[in-house]
A = this chain, B = another copy of it.
Amino acid sequence: MSEEKSSGAVERRSGVALWRQIADAIRQAIADGEYEGMMPGEIALAARFGVNRHTVRAAIAALVEEGLLESVQGRGTLIRRQTRFTFPITRRTRFSEGLAGQSRDRDIRLVAEERIKADPVIAAALTLEPGAELLKLTLVSRADGVPVSTSINYFNAARFSGMAAAVRETGSITRAYAMLGVTDYIRLTTDLTARLADERERLLLELKPGAVVMEARAVNALPDGAPIQYAVTCFAADRVTLKLDMPV
C-alpha cells in the first residue's frame, strides 16, 4: 500500500555506508512483504540501487549474518523469515498474551536486578516521595527465540521486594504479580518515541548498529488507579508493530 517502491534511494557522502543503506532498505522491503521467498539477483539489485554488484553483495552478507537471508551458489538468495509480530497496547497490555497465537513460545528473562533511590520523575509517576527505595529490574522478552523487547522496570521496593525472584520463577510479569497478590493491573499511560538503538540495547536485542528501537514509557496501576510500576520498554522496530486499539 502507498507504493513508494524504495526507488534506489541511496545517498552518498551521508556518513552511512552504501552497503548498510541497502541492507536497511532490503530489510524494510522484506518486512513490508515486498519480496516473497527469493530475492532478485545481485545484478538486478545493483542496477536497482545504482551501485556496484560488490556493494550489494556486502549488504546481502550483512543480512546473511543477521540470519535474515541465505545465499546459495547457482540458485540465488533466499529469504529465511519475515514475520513481524503485532503487539497490542491497551489498558490491559500483557506481553505473553499479546503475542499468543503469533508465536509458539514466549519467554521473559531477568538480566539485571538493582536497588536504587527514586529520581523525581519516577517518584512522581509512582506517587512516592523522591529518594524512596526502588527495585529496578531489567528484562528481555523473546518470541520464538527472537528478542522482541527489553525493558527497565521500577517497583516500590518495600511493596514488591519479591518481584525479582517471582519473575525469574514464573517467566512472566503477570504471573509474578499474581504470586505477590496482585491479581489484576491496568496501564495508565504510555509515552512513545523512536531512535537508533544504543550499545546496551543492541547487545540485549541482538541488533546491528543503525537498528531502530521504539521506546515506550508506561505506568501500570492497580484497578483502582494506584500506580505500582514504571516501565521503559524498547522494542526492536523491525520485529514488531505496536497496535493501539481505541475502545469505542
Of A161-169, A174-182, A192-200, the one with at least 4 CB within 8 A of chain B? A192-200
A192 with B246: CB separation less than 8 A? no
Interface flags for A75-91 (1: CB within 8 Å of B; 0: not) read: 00000000010100111
A208 to B201 CA separation, bound complex (whole angstroms): 23
CA distance A214 to B199 in the complex (A): 21
Residues of B within 8 Å of A25, CB to CB, are 198
9 A-B pairs with C-beta separation under 8 A = A2-B232, A15-B62, A16-B209, A17-B17, A28-B196, A194-B194, A225-B248, A247-B247, A247-B248
Inter-chain contacts of A200 with B (CB < 8 A): 4, 9
Q: A95-103, A141-149, A237-245: which lies at the B interface?
A: A237-245
Count of chain copies: 2
Give CA–CA (A23, B137) in the complex, Å: 30
Q: Is A6 in the interface zone, CB < 8 Å from B?
A: yes
> Among the listed B14, B240, B244, which residue makes an inter-chain contact with A89, where contact means beta carbons less than 8 Å apart?
B244
Interface stretch (choices A40-48, A66-74, A183-191): A183-191
Question: From DSSP, what is the main secondary structure of chain A's interface residues?
Answer: mixed
**C-alpha gap A189/B189 in the complex (Å):** 17
B14 touches A242 (CB 8 A): no
- A residues 101-149 touching B (CB-CB < 8 Å): 119, 121-122
B238 and A195 within 8 A (CB)? yes
Q: How large is the interface on A (under 10, 10 to 19, 20 to 34, 35 or more residues)?
A: 35 or more
A20 to chain B, nearest CB (A): 3
How far is the CB of A247 from the nearest CB of chain B, in Å? 6
Cα A208 to Cα B76 with chains together (Å): 34
A16: chain B residues at CB < 8 Å are 15-17, 20, 209-210
A1 interface residue (CB < 8 Å to B): yes
Q: Are A243 and B191 in contact (CB under 8 A)?
A: yes
Complex Cα distance, B214 from A84, in Å, reads: 16
Lowest 8 A-B CB distances belong to which pairs? Answer: A15-B20, A9-B199, A194-B194, A14-B209, A190-B244, A194-B237, A192-B242, A15-B17
Residue among A1, A15, A17, A210 having the largest count of chain B Cβ atoms under 10 Å? A15
Contact A191–B248 (Cβ < 8 Å): no
CB distance from A156 to the nearest CB of B (A): 16
